[in-house]
Structure formats: C-alpha cells, structure tokens
Amino acid sequence: MIRFDGRVAIVTGAGGGLGRTYALELAKRGAKVVVNDYGGSLAGGAGTSEAAERVVAEIVAAGGEAKANGASVSDPAGVDALVRDAMEAYGRVDILINNAGILRDKTFAKMSFDDVRAVLDVHLYGSFLCTKAVWPIMQQRGYGRVVMTSSGSGLFGNFGQANYAAAKLGVVGLMNTLELEGAKYDIRINTIAPSAATRMTEALMPPDMLARFDPALVMPGVLFLVSEDAPTGVVLAAAAGVFCTARIAQTVGVALDPATLDVDAVAAHWSAIADESKLLDFDSVGRQTQYFYERATDNVPAK
C-alpha cells in the first residue's frame, strides 16, 4: 500500500471537489495536510476559509492531522504565508498539488482582458507562485513531488474557454521546464488533466455524465503522481476511473533543400511534413534543436 507517513502536503483549492478528495486521501494515508482554499466564487470573488476548515474538520474527525489556510494562490504575500504556515506547523513540505481554479467563460469576441488576467492569475501564476515558494525547501531536502492541473481544454481546446485553455496549457510548459531543473534534487513534477463533476463543471455536463464523473475516481491517479515512486514530466488525463497519458509530439517532417526552399516547396511537401504515422518525443528544446540540425545535415535520415 502506498503511504505518505511523515510527509507534509499542501493542496490548493482543497475546500471541495477534486482538491478535497486529494486532501482526505493523503491524510488517510498518513500525510499531514495543509488544506488551502480561498473560498471565493466560481469567478474568483472574495471568500473565506470556511471551506478549508470544513475539510480539516473531516480529516481530524477521521484521526488525521491538517491545517486550514484561506490564502489566494494569486497573491504573492498570501502564498508566502501559506508556505510559512506549513513550515511553522510541520517543519517541511514534501508535496504540492496545484489545484486551485476559477472560470470566466465567454467567447473570445466578448472576453475582456480582465477575464483573461483573472484566470491566468489563479491557474498559471498561482501554480508558479506556489511552486516557487516550496522550491527551495524541496531543493534543500533533496525531495519533492509537485502536481500541476491542466485540462482537456488546454490540451485540445474548448469553445468559450480561450483564457482557461491558455492557462491550462501554460502549466504544461511550466512542468516541462521544472522537470529538467528539479531532476538533480529528486523533485518530480507531473500534470493531471482531469474531468470531474465539480462546481466548475456541474453546469457543463448532463446529469448522466455528472453521475459517472465522481472526483474520487480521479484522485488515485494524483496520489500516484505524488508518491515516492512517481514518474516525472507526465501529463495524466483522468476521468470516471479511466487513466491515459497525453503528450506533445512532433512529426518526423521533411528536410528541404535551402537552395530551393520557398513557400511553394512547403506547400508541395505539406502531406509529408504533417504525416503523423511516426511521432517523436523530445525531453527538451535542446534535443529538438539538435534533431533539426541533424536532419538538415543528413546525419539522421528520415525513417
């Protein structure tokens, strides 16, 4: 059985939905949990720490140990206080699950800059701030497990969610770089792309889907991503007890002769350029750049 005895976890947005299930199960399996939730409206309006305190009460009633925190993840001072609270209470932070989120859905034509900024502040900048705050702690201890939260909207797009989709793909890029920078400290960083029946989705899913998309059916995948034997750099898509990995990949492509290269040459070779019968993964942009160089100089023939 995977256990988290002696570990300290911060879970943001844990006053309900997915975050609550993560916090409850981490505590059940031995972790001390800082339950963070701003307690605001779905659009990010001001709130209270009551939701976080209710989850803490559940954990304590079940024999676990937890502490509530009502900071907004988009507030740098609040995030610093969140991590300081965790350190004062428990002396360490081993796990961070960046789960907090808001929605401001509108078509792109009607979306204001404030709608974009508010969503990026919580999802993207909030994930950055929380991870940045625990990073030196994890570096010093030589151990850390971090989960970002993406979405099918970020991976594949969704009508009316340009702001949300941009933020949700942004955290994947953040993960890809932090995977490289955290490797020597055994800081493993992964991303969950969940679909679940929460207050963010209850108006978007029909009743039969809501019944099947219990947040508790995503939770086991997230706990695996923060376990001692977790992978790193993985995007795990999860819903209704179904788990899949997702990736950003590149076609083999075509190396065109610079002497005759023009837009007509690209158009003429487009079918081969876009041929997805073989896809390539790269562990960094440096490896991708090397691939371009090798193909261009014919050191690696197309397969």
Residues designated catalytic: 164
Indicate whether 265 and 187 sit together in one domain. no
**Is 142 domain-assigned?**
yes
> How much is the mean pLDDT over the chain?
92
CATH number at residue 139: 3.40.50.720
Residues 196-224: what's their mean pLDDT?
A: 79
Residues 148-169: what's their mean pLDDT?
A: 95
Contact 121/73 with Cβ under 8 angstroms?
no
How many domains does the chain fold into?
Answer: 2
By mean pLDDT, which of 51-55, 101-105, 193-197 is the weakest? 193-197
pLDDT given for residue 142 in this prediction: 98
Indicate whether 242 and 274 sit together in one domain. no
Indicate whether 178 and 34 sit together in one domain. yes
Per-residue pLDDT reduced to its tens digit, 262-283: 999 999 999 999 999 999 999 9
pLDDT given for residue 39 in this prediction: 82
β-pair partners for 144? 187
Residues 127-142: what's their mean pLDDT?
A: 98
Please state whether beta strands 242-246 and 235-239 pair in parallel, antiparallel, or not at all (unpaired): antiparallel
Tally: H helices and E strands in the chain: 12, 10
**Is 13 domain-assigned?**
yes
* 199 band by pLDDT with thresholds 50, 70 and 90: low
* 75 band by pLDDT with thresholds 50, 70 and 90: very high
Indicate whether 223 and 152 sit together in one domain. yes
The kind and range of the H/E element at 156 are helix 152-156
Last residue of a domain, one of 223, 246, 269: 246
pLDDT given for residue 250 in this prediction: 97
Q: Is the pLDDT of residue 46 over 60?
A: no
> 131 CB contacts (<8 Å, ≥6 apart)?
96, 98, 146, 174, 178, 189
Q: Is the pLDDT of residue 161 over 60?
A: yes
Indicate whether 183 and 292 sit together in one domain. no
Return the ∠ at Cα 71 (arms to 215 and 57), rounded to 5°: 55
Q: Is the pLDDT of residue 91 over 90?
A: yes
Indicate whether 185 and 259 sit together in one domain. no
Of residues 255 and 195, more confidently modeled: 255
Indicate whether 107 and 68 sit together in one domain. yes
**Is 166 domain-assigned?**
yes
pLDDT given for residue 41 in this prediction: 53
**Is 220 domain-assigned?**
yes
**Is 157 domain-assigned?**
yes
161: its two tokens: 């969610």
Indicate whether 185 and 200 sit together in one domain. yes
The kind and range of the H/E element at 32 are strand 32-36
Indicate whether 215 and 268 sit together in one domain. no
Last residue of a domain, one of 246, 261, 286: 246
Indicate whether 90 and 124 sit together in one domain. yes
Distance CA(258)–CA(283), nearest Å, equals: 27
Residue 179's alpha-carbon distances to 23, 113, 116, 172, in angstroms, are 24, 31, 27, 10
Return the ∠ at Cα 56 (arms to 12 and 14), rounded to 5°: 20
pLDDT given for residue 201 in this prediction: 62
pLDDT given for residue 196 in this prediction: 81
User: pTM of this prediction?
Assistant: 0.92
Please state whether beta strands 8-11 and 95-97 pair in parallel, antiparallel, or not at all (unpaired): parallel
Range of the structural domain that residue 229 is part of = 8-246
* 197 band by pLDDT with thresholds 50, 70 and 90: confident
Of residues 201 and 166, more confidently modeled: 166
Indicate whether 219 and 289 sit together in one domain. no
